[in-house]
Structure 1
Amino acid sequence: MSDGQSRPTSGSGQIVVSGLTKQYRNLRAVDNLSFTIAPGRVTGFLGPNGAGKTTTLRMLLNLVTPTAGTATFGGRRYADLQQPLQHVGAVLEASSAHKGRTGINHLRVICAAAGLPRQRADEALAMVGLTPAANRKFKGYSLGMKQRLGIAAAMLGDPQVLVLDEPANGLDPEGIRWMRGFLRALAAEGRTVLVSSHLLSEMQLLADDVVIIAAGKLVRQGPVDTVIGSMAHSSRVRVRTPQADALANALAAQSATVTRDADGVLLIDGVDAPAVGRAALAAQVELHELTTERLDLEGVFLELTSGKAGIR
């Protein structure tokens, strides 16, 4: 993605949020929030609607003043960065531009204002696959094209850090796949990529790490696999049998925990599928289904945030 110049040192891309708080009169949108985002990785920033994600990102980018706490890039606040576009690229909503201006001219205006070389507009447009639409007017861009143009604008300064809020909005499946590859390639170059999204299945494919918040507070942070594995019910055995009581009694002797869903299916924790099969054989229980269910990121997210109402 870069032009061959050396990337900044890894510490310059570290994002540190420490005790970040935002109080709006009687509403605490963000409450003593702390987390660290590492360079060279894609981090998903997740939370229910109203959890405080956008407020946190806006404080990170000096668009909202914190009530307390700090948010820094490589130890410096965004407001203290010289030539911030060369350190941090951000897209908090689909790109907006004068409807009569072409995509390439929109980027050239930003380059001129930021003191960046004019050719960066062409390079950034090519980077996001919009060169064929360079001379089309913004009013003719689809939402997905506007998203790509916003990312191109964020990349003009060849930043070490990229902060994106719902970047897949408006993208078709091919566009989402492109986005995934693009962001992972940026992280592979040693950049820091922070992505807020509601598309949890996509986040499981894209993200190395996740930060999950609810009601303005940190709920869980860590590598995706570690967060999923930390749940008490990260995996369980699902069984359908016409002799459910007999199997449940046999498994109770093995200290397994057995519950039933609304359809009478047994959900078993504490033993694996082979142990359930052996218990069923010994008890002469007929099995119609025996599968291992594993929690995915969506299941973990829902379990961690259940009952923790977002702030609206």
Structure 2
Amino acid sequence: MSAPGTDEIVVEHLTKQYKKLRAVDDLSFKVRSGRVTGFLGPNGAGKTTTLRMLLGLVTPTAGTATFGSRKYTDLSDPVREVGAVLEASSAHRGRTGRNHLRMICRAAGLPDTRSDEVLEMVGLTPAANRKFKGYSLGMRQRLGIAAAMLGDPKVLILDEPANGLDPEGIRWMRDLLKALASQGRTVLVSSHLLGEMQLLADDVVIVAAGKLIRQGPVDEVLGDLSGGVQVRVRTPQAEELTAALSELNATVTPGADGSLVVHGVEAAAIGHAAFTARVELHELSTERGDLEQVFLQLTAGKAGIR
């Protein structure tokens, strides 16, 4: 097996014990570059503890959390390799957003001009000279991402980055993270917004009570656990269409709204069968599984209070 890339996140048999509480329990997963990975779990699942161990802020009881084969504390230039936001940005209340970033630049050996570049990236240029005490929670989230991107890192780790953002801000966040992943970066995002994660993530890692429950590409996880892709059909000739689809071994279930829900046959085949049987169609749409339903199914009875 080839060695993992330096920008690939690798968690292997990670465990964290706090006296009688096991916050993370023999957890293993990988986060690939060029993709957005959603890190999901109920409250108390161990997500934040895992991220803190990955960033060297908490010492594991056992196992490793690395970037490729290197711990965060072993990175030669972490600012340029890993960017992270574990909570809304904090700064001196009387300091402007621009000056806050410039302070970080100087500490990291980066040019002051980089602060203006990341302010533009996160849409804070108009507020660059406003004092931090006047920033909303959403603006603080943007400033935190700006700080994480100062070193132009290959890896970005975000814990609940959409907190405080309005719908427009959430869409902006989604577009930004997708764009960063498309550049080949590794993006790991922890979030409770399951509907948003279904739109954003390429892969998911689902944990509960400190243990891995499921991981894989979003479409694969949804397909395996929601009965696969389904097609919704509306027609005034439901009986005729159902009879035609039975010859294709399709499963047809009446929907509560008067539609038909079809499994086992793709939309194109349904359309052809309707055409052949001279059945009028008013709707023919393919529907993916729902990440929230899958999440609740996987984590039922496994949530913990930490």
Question: TM-score by structure 2 length?
Answer: 0.82
**Structure 2, unpaired ranges of 5+:** 234-247, 274-282
Question: In the aligned structure 2, how far is the partner of 1:25 from the partner of 1:170?
Answer: 34
State the distance in 2 between where 1:165 and 1:231 align.
26
1:135 paired with 2:106, answer no
Q: Which residue of the other structure, out of 265, 268, 289, is the alignment partner of 1:296?
A: 289
The alignment status of 1:310 with 2:299, answered yes or no, reads no
Q: Which residue is equivalent to 1:115?
A: 109
Q: In the alignment, what sits opposite 1:242?
A: none
2:196 to 197, 202, 222: 202
Which amino acid in structure 2 is aligned with residue 298 of structure 1?
L
Counterpart among 36, 61, 71 of residue 65 in structure 2 = 71
Q: Distance in 2 between matches of 1:60 and 1:51?
A: 16
In structure 1, C-alpha distance between the alignment counterparts of 2:184 and 2:193, rounded to whole Å: 24
**Residue type of the alignment partner of 1:209:** D
Q: Percent identity?
A: 69
Q: Deviations over 1:282-301 (max 9, x none)?
A: xxxxxxxx998955343443
Within 5 Å, which residues of 2 pair with 1:18-33?
18-33=12-27
Q: Distance in 1 between matches of 2:176 and 2:256?
A: 43
Are 1:41 and 2:41 counterparts? no
1:103 aligns with 2:94: no
Partner SS for 2:28: strand
Cα gap change, 1:293 to 1:311, in 2 (>3 Å): farther
Secondary structure of residue in 2 paired with 1:156: coil
TM-score, structure 1 length as denominator? 0.80
Distance 2:288 2:296 in 1: 10
SS of 1:11 mapped into structure 2 = coil
Match of 1:62 in 2: 56
> How far did 1:304 drift?
3.7
* Per-residue deviation, 1:174: 1.2
| Matching residue of 2:161 | 167
Residue matched to 1:226: 220
Q: Which residue of 1 aligns with 2:276?
A: none
Consecutive unaligned residues of structure 1, counting only runs of 5 or more, are 1-9, 240-253, 279-289
In 1, Cα distance between equivalents of 2:266 and 2:179: 38
**Structure 2 Cα separation of the partners of residues 237 and 206 of structure 1:** 23
CA distance in 2, matches of 1:119, 1:271: 56
Measure, in 1, the Cα distance between the counterparts of 2:263 and 2:116: 56
Between the aligned partners of 2:7 and 2:210, the Cα distance in structure 1 is 24
| 1:91 pairs with 2:85 | yes
CA RMSD between the two structures: 3.4
Instruction: Evaluate the alpha carbon distance shift between residue 303 and residue 258 of structure 1 in structure 2; reply closer, same or farther with a 3 A threshold.
Output: farther
Q: Where has structure 1 moved over 4 Å in runs of 4 or more?
A: 235-239, 254-263, 265-275, 290-295
The verdict on how the C-alpha distance between 1:101 and 1:38 changes in structure 2, with shifts beyond 3 A counting, is same
